[in-house]
Structures are given as structure tokens and as C-alpha cells.
Amino acid sequence: MKTPLFLLPLLLVAGANTAEADPAADPSAILARSDHARGGGLPGIVWDVHAETTGTNDDADAGMQLSLRVTAADNASVAETLEPVHQKGSRLLQVDRVMWLTRPGLKKPIPISPRQRLTGEAAVGDIAATNYVQDYAARLDREEACGAQRCWVLDLTAKAKNTTYDRVVYWVTEDGDLGAKAQFYSVSGKLLKSADFEYANLIDFDGRRVPFVSKMVIRDALTPATTTLEYAHIRVQKIPPTAFEVSHLD
């Protein structure tokens, strides 16, 4: 039976609404799923991060290597410096979007910004568990090829002034919901840096073995400076709330 011509516009609109309502393409849902592979939304996780910077003219950063042990759960994380020796014992505590630093010799923890540079091109917020779905409003901009895969391209706008970046353009693979690459912008729209991600680690989550980030390569937008973060010894485990109390840093 033929469809009356006057019904065709209604059917086309209904079809468009159905596509838009596809839960798999909901930007907030995509972001939440991608967070799992970078420490967000898990019951608790511990991992080691090794950072190395190359291509910089800054003598303080050139060839510098930094090793941290990060413990994270929900909206909080604490990172303890393992190397270099002269920084050993320093700790960074993050709760929601607030951060504190303590190190041997300091009388009490001091508040710092997640935007503060940790080493090379890596900001303090880059080593914390990623909770983009909490920190950013997501809009699905387009779909396109990224390498050999198809990606959703999300435009992320910071919900508050004290997030690590004001705006992020984030490529998330359609097969696996993994963040493939990102571009980080200032509030004025200036490109600050970009990053690529690899997922050679595996963790047990929700009854499945799923990929977890193994490398993040951060490149400055204006110079050849590059900072590589490598993630190892991933352990999913319950973390006591006391681990994220400021008084626990003393």
C-alpha cells in the first residue's frame, strides 16, 4: 500500500527524531563510557604514571622523568611522587575540582590549581582520574574517521572555571568508546596543546576485561615540546574515603 504524500514529511521528521534519540550516540553517555578507560566512574583504582618530557628548551624540564602512584575513586584522587628522589613523598590530593599539594618540609598542604603545570606539557589535572562527564558539558559535533576507526567528535565545554581546561575537542571511538585524541583550548579559543592515547592495559570492570589507558602523549601547540605519560600496574580496588581527606596528607 502506498503512503499518502501528505504523510511523508511527518514520517521523515519521525525518522530524524528516532536517529537523534539513539542512546548510543548520546554525547553525555559516550563521555561517561570513555571515562572508564581513564579512571573515571570506577569503584576505585590504583596505577603508576611515568612522565618524560622531550623537545623543550626549558632546562628544568629537558629530559626530566617523574614517577607517581595514583589512587582514585569517584571524584577524588591522590598522587604520590616516587621519583625523582628529591621530590619523593610529595603528594597531590584532588577532591571534585579542588587540589592540594604537600611535600616534605611543608608545614601544611597548600591549595593549587589543576591547571598548574606538573611537568613539561602535563598539567596537574592530567594525572588525576578523568571524570569528563562531571566536569564538561558535551555536544556531539560530528562523526569522522580517526586512523583506521570511526570516531564521535565531542565538543566539551567546562562547567566551572577551575577545571583543567576551558574547552576540549575529544575524539572517541565508536567501537569501544575509547578517547583516541584530544585538543585542549583556552577560554579565548586558543589551542594550547593536543594529545593522543593508547590502550594496551586491561582491567576487570563490570564483569568484563576492558581496555585501560597505557599512554598519553601531550604536544605543545607552539613548540616541539612533548610530554609522554605511561600508565602501568593498574589495580581496580575499593579505596577507603579517608585516603582523600586533607588531614591524611600530613
Q: How confident is the model at residue 70 (pLDDT cuts 50, 70, 90)?
A: very high
Does the residue 14 lie in any domain?
Answer: no
Does the residue 57 lie in any domain?
Answer: yes
pLDDT number for residue 215: 97
pLDDT number for residue 116: 83
pLDDT at 153 over 90: yes
pLDDT number for residue 3: 47
| Domains contained in the chain, number | 1
- Domain assignment of residue 101, given as a range: 27-249
> pLDDT: is 230 or 61 the higher one?
230
Q: Across the chain, what does the average pLDDT equal?
A: 85
Does the residue 224 lie in any domain?
Answer: yes
Q: In CATH, what number is assigned to the domain containing residue 237?
A: 2.50.20.10
pLDDT at 246 over 50: yes
- 138-152 tens-digit pLDDT: 999 999 999 889 999
Q: Which of 114-123, 161-170, 221-230 has the lowest mean pLDDT?
A: 114-123
- 187-243 tens-digit pLDDT: 899 999 999 999 999 998 878 888 999 999 999 999 999 999 999 999 999 998 888
Rg (CA), the chain: 20
Does the residue 33 lie in any domain?
Answer: yes
Does the residue 180 lie in any domain?
Answer: yes
pLDDT number for residue 10: 40
pLDDT number for residue 12: 40
pLDDT number for residue 248: 73
Does the residue 4 lie in any domain?
Answer: no
> pLDDT: is 74 or 90 the higher one?
90
Does the residue 7 lie in any domain?
Answer: no
Does the residue 231 lie in any domain?
Answer: yes
Q: What's the CA gap between 245 and 65, in Å, rounded?
A: 28
Is 213 in contact with 233 (CB distance < 8 Å)? Answer: no
pLDDT at 65 over 90: no
pLDDT number for residue 60: 56
pLDDT at 15 over 60: no
| Sign of the torsion formed by the C-alpha atoms of 36, 38, 40 and 43 | positive
Encode burial over 142-172: b for 16+ CB neighbours within 10 A, e otherwise: eeeebeeeebbbbbbebeeeebbbbbbbbbb
Q: Which of 133, 160, 130, 120 is nearest to 70 (CA)?
A: 130
Q: Which three cell numbers stand for residue 159?
A: 562547567
